[in-house]
Amino acid sequence: MSNDQQLTKLQGHVLIFSEELRDLILTFEMLVPIAEDNELLKKFSGTKQAFGLEIIRGSLIQECILGITKLTYDPEPQNPTAKTLIKGIATLPSDLLAKLKEAFSVPIKAVPAANRPVTETDSQILAEIERMDAEELRRDFDQYWLELKKEWAWFEEHRNTFLQLRDKRFAHLDVKLVDQQYQLTDVKGPDWSTVKEAVRRLVRVSELLLTLVHRKDEGFDQATEIAKRIAADYWQGH
C-alpha cells in the first residue's frame, strides 16, 4: 500500500469510527436514566412493567458493552477501532508521519490590514506570524498525540474487564464443569462508573483523531445533548 493509500485509509477509518461512536452515544444515553434515576426506577417498581424494564436495561447494558469493545479492542487492521487507528498512526513510516504533522501545522494565512499597500516590513511581520503559528501547531500535534496515547493506556488497563464479559458471556457461552455439573463461567464485567468512563474516553479519542488526521475541531457535545433529549422524552412517556 502506497503512502497516499495509507493516509486515505486512515482518514476514512477515522470518519467511520466517529460515526459509529455517535450510535453508541445514543444507546448509552438511553441507558443512563434507568441506570441512575432512582425516581424513574421507583415509578416502575412493583408494577407490571418492572420485568420488562429489567429486560430492556439488560439489553442496553449488553449493547453498550458490545459497542465499547467493538469500537476499542478488535484488532483486525481492516476494522476502524481505537486500537487499530492509534496503532496505525504510531506505525506510520517516518516520512508519512512527518507529512501528516506538516499538514496539521499549516497556519491560517496572515492577512495584512486593508486599504493600504503592503510594505516589505509588513511582509516580514506576516511571515514571522505564520512561522510562529506553524511552530505552535507542531507543538499542539505532539501534545494531542501524547494525550491520545494516554487515553489508550486507560483502555489497555481495562482490556480484560470488557473483553472477558464480551467473549465469555455476550458473544459466546463459556461453561465449566463443577461437581459433575456444567455451569456458566463466572465473569465479572465493568461496573457502571467504568462503562461511563469508557464512553467519555472514546469521545475524547474520536475528537483527538479527527483533530490530528482531519484537522477538524469537532466535539460531540451536540450529539450527546440530542441523545439525552431523546432518552428523556422516551422515559418520561413511560
pLDDT digits (tens, 9 = 90+) for 144-183: 999 999 999 999 999 999 988 888 877 777 788 788 888 8
Helix (H) or strand (E) segment spanning residue 181: strand 181-184
C-alpha cell at 172: 459466546
Residue 112 confidence class, pLDDT cut points 50, 70, 90: low
Calculate Rg over the CA atoms of the chain.
Answer: 24
Average pLDDT, the chain: 88
Q: What does pTM read for this prediction? A: 0.86
What angle in degrees, to the nearest 10, is found between the helix axes of 192-209 and 3-36? 150
Q: Domain locations in the chain?
A: 3-101+144-236
